[in-house]
Chain A
Amino acid sequence: MIPKGVSLNPNSRKTRFARRFICALSQMRNPRPVSSSNEEEVRKRSHKIKIAAYLSMARAVGSRRAWSRALLFKLRTRARRHNIMIGRRSLCLKKKRVIKNDPLGELSQTNKLRHLVPGGKTMDMCSLLEETAHFVTCLATQVKVMQTIADHFAK
């Protein structure tokens, strides 16, 4: 029997995210033989998984929040640029984004927050705080789901 008392809204953000994330994970093609434990490979794969996690979270949230829109846009342009680069067979565009130097030598708190929250650079303080709050809740669910998945796979 289905265990009682453990019902979850099938349409909640958490389940939507979980579905998308698992879908993305399954679509990831992993080379065989497994556990090649090549540093580079693992790093690349983990980066892809991270991107997939953020992407699925943003999709689960939809276009309702500014941060999800900004995140989707960023990922999309990054993917497009990446594909174009691969098409042109020139992978030399991996330069790092230059962080604007604060004249004080350290970023103020608001600026730090703006860098952390996607899309935060163009928001005023009020909406920045709002988006931060929503972002924090979504990050927490993301971490929880990923934790469950990782624990499951670790068994």
Chain B
Amino acid sequence: MEPNLGTIARSISIRPNREETGLESLQFREEIHRLMIVPPENGSSFTALLELPETQAMELLHSPHSDKGVTVPLSGVPLHGINDDHKSYLPSFNGNLTFPSNKVLIERAAKFSVFASGEHSPETSSVPSDSSANLEKVKSEPADTDSNPNSSQLLVSDPTVNIKNQRSEKRKEREKKGKGCTKKTKIEISQDAEKLPYVHVRARRGQATDSHSLAERARREKINARMKLLQELVPGCSKISGTALVLDEIINHVQSLQRQVELLSMRLASVNPRIDFNLDSLFAPESGSLVDSNFSSMVSPLLWPEIPFNGNRQQHQQQWNFDALHRPLWGREEDSHTFITMENSLLSYDSANSASLHSNQLKMEL
């Protein structure tokens, strides 16, 4: 059975199903909307995720999608669906979200809340007096590999911000279960947390609540998040479950890439002496000794750029203007005749010219 007051969400939750009721829900929703003003800068960027876990967490926090949270009673929550929602708006961050339960995050949360809701901060400060909302609290979902992917939440709050009504919050907050949907909610707060200026973490049922295990858990969640990102990066790794196998796969992948680099360098070493080109010659006005026809013929075979290289193209254009080659040099002249002439011309050229032509060609391909 859920306490009726427990339907008031205490904190900003990533999960869209906040329980809200009545006026407090309206206030709370407004505050949440205000907080969502902060847009994620590069929320879906992979490296951004990696580099800024905390800010990313905050961006997730203020994700505009969380307002589409439906008030779903806890008992009937299909937590599976919630994670789907997550996946829908966190494309690059599949599965569970993790928050490091450290002070930095909370400070940022505080900063954001103040920043985003400047004039409303008195309201927000007054709201806790109703013990209805504590906007600096963050709910996080630990991506616990042991547990069900539908994980439960951890509530983290900064005591420096969450001052007023810890007891009432404690009464009203709930803990959401992860393993399927359970009717019971149980609140466990370590007694010390109330008094000491530590990070408040709500523990799940049956879990230790001392600071060490909490820190451990946060660290584990971080690591699991990074592992998930790595899994997406390495091909064929998402099916594998289990840290050890995934790590093996990653190591194999890195080793194979390094081996490929070595093989390619060997190829280049055996091939390279044939061509000796100089980049400077590209950017200097070409000498008139270059045959025009060969220039144009050189163009045609390289117009299937695997890795196109736009920046140099403009330079090429300028350079060719220098040469006063007034023909559509990038035109697609794909006769076999030009291929043959190109081959012959390459062989007949002295090294410098052929090298520069090759470099043009190469640049096009790149």
Contacts and interface: CB of A to CB of B under 8 A. Distances in A.
Interface of A: 1-3, 6-11, 14-15, 18, 22-23, 25-26, 28, 30-32, 34-37, 42-43, 45-50, 53-54, 109-110, 112-113, 116-117, 125-126, 129-130, 132-137, 139-140, 142-150, 152-155
B47 interface: yes
A150 B331 contact: no
B238 interface: no
Interface in B239-276: 244, 247-248, 250-251, 253-255, 257-258, 260-262, 264-276
B47 to A, nearest CB: 6
Contacts of A112: 251
6 contacts: A10-B312, A35-B270, A130-B51, A147-B264, A150-B264, A150-B268
Contact of A153 (B51, B274, B366): B274
Centre residue among B233, B251, B301, B331 by max chain A CB count within 10 A: B251
Given A139-B261, A148-B306, A117 B269 contact: no
B303 A3 contact: yes
Contacts of A25: 268, 272
B226 interface: yes
Contact of B234 (A23, A136, A144): A136
A132 B268 contact: no
Contacts of A46: 262, 265-266, 268-270
Contacts of B208: none
B115 interface: no
Given A50-B261, A135-B254, A26 B276 contact: yes
Interface of B: 46-47, 50-51, 219, 222-223, 226-227, 229-230, 233-234, 244, 247-248, 250-251, 253-255, 257-258, 260-262, 264-279, 301, 303, 305-313, 317, 328, 330-331, 358-359, 361-362, 365-366
Contacts, number: 173
Contact of B271 (A48, A54, A150): A150
Centre residue among B248, B271, B313, B358 by max chain A CB count within 10 A: B271
Nearest to B271: A153
Contacts of B253: 136
Contacts of A110: 247
Contact of A146 (B51, B265, B310, B361): B265
Interface of A, secondary structure class, is helix
A150 B362 CA distance: 10
Contact of B257 (A22, A143, A153): A143
The 3 nearest A-B residue pairs measured at CB? A10-B311, A6-B308, A34-B273
